[in-house]
A = this chain, B = another copy of it.
Amino acid sequence: MLDVVQTPLKSLIARRRPGYTLEAPFYTSPQILQTDLDLIFGHHWIYVGVEPDVPEPGDVMVVDIGANSVLIVRDDDLGVKAFHNVCRHRGARLVHEPKTTVGNLVCGYHQWTYNLEGKLVHADHMGKDFDPGCHGLKPVHLRSLAGLLFICLSDDPPADFDEMAAVMTPYIAPHDIANCKVIHQSDLIELGNWKLTMENNRECYHCSANHPELTIPLFAYGFGFSPDSVDETELKQAQRYEQMVCDLGAQWEADGLPSREVDRLDDMVTGYRTQRLPIDRDGESQTIDTKVASKKLLGQFTNSKLGGLSFWTQPNSWHHFMSDHIVTFSVIPLDAERTLLRTKWLVHKDAVEGVDYDLENVIGVWVATNDQDGTLVGWAQAGARSQAYEPGPYSPYTEMLVDKFCNWYIGRLNALLPR
């Protein structure tokens, strides 16, 4: 293992074998995790939350990515801005709570005071030669895609976000995130590298044996299957489901809801994929009984059977939009072997708990599924540490999207590593 760790990163990248898992150091090396933070999380659009996280002027949310702490702020003009959470005087962190509401952003150390646009408006004892104009909060690039908030820590963010936004806005906008509220957030620490968390999300080969709750609303072979590996009954179900995808998809499109698959996972800098798929068992939503969990449908919806619109982005998010609620996931590395999976559940902002929805019913499927996935990620991490680990083959029938994640990752490292 000592040998492999010492293999230069460029060699590891060059010898990556398509269709196979990555070599062990990509999952275990603290140095490569630092490179991931610098090049992947530091130079791409990172999904961090939703506009309803900061609904009112002065609302602030703190997002930590590696050693960086970022403030997401709703300003007085109802815009959303992002700043580094670092005072320009002695460098102290400004905001300490995950969410708060402020008039100005005041550093607790020496009371340097910034307004919601990040401008330094007050600093005592600095004398006449001091120029407050040079000491505003440092901005962070932020974009809202129909209410989903993405930041980029680089001064030069990838330009193709606009292309993704142009395609995706018609899919997502009908779910009307702006008029939603976050009713629950879970922060789960998985004991594995962030790429194992992502790889786990990009296939359902593991679903049938591990996710009893999720496989009620989600058809387990939605990501594909090998005809040799299913029996006749399963094959018939798959054919029936395929027919539903065609029929319902055509109907949704006709109703003005874009639904067909778009897959740009490994051929864009801002890689993404989307598709609206039927809820199985003739259902409505990702719940245990497959029925809507919130009576107050989102946006202008009147039809509860809108399936599940899924949206996956590289490097760190996925989202499921139903007629009644939204579940949205962001993945943040903590260190080489620990990852934060942050999940938020949204319903219509006017829905009333206990009347329109039952919280446990809204969150039940994904709380259970996340927990199961966390265990699987831990098993994969433990194995990757072994000298016996070597890249294994992805199923060409069910793990194609995992392979695309690795393609994208290796390609981006290759493009961004200094020559």
Contact = CB atoms under 8 A, between A and B. Distances in A.
A11 interface: no
Contacts of A21: 90-91
Contacts of A88: 390, 392
A385 to B, nearest CB: 4
B125 A85 contact: no
Interface in A1-54: 1-2, 21, 24, 28, 34-35, 38, 42
A383 B68 contact: no
A96 to B, nearest CB: 7
A95 B92 CA distance: 40
A22 B125 CA distance: 20
Contact of A379 (B96, B228, B383): B96
Contact of A67 (B1, B225, B390, B398): B1
Task: Specify how many copies of this chain sit in the oligomer.
Answer: 3
A67 B127 contact: no
Contact of A92 (B24, B42, B376): B376
Contacts of A126: 226, 229, 393, 395-397
Contacts of A369: none
A395 B67 contact: no
A384 B69 CA distance: 11
Contacts of A303: none
A281 interface: no
Given A127-B226, A395-B126, A383 B1 contact: no
Can you list the 6 inter-chain pairs with the closest CB atoms, starting with the nearest? A84-B388, A67-B385, A124-B229, A93-B382, A91-B383, A125-B226
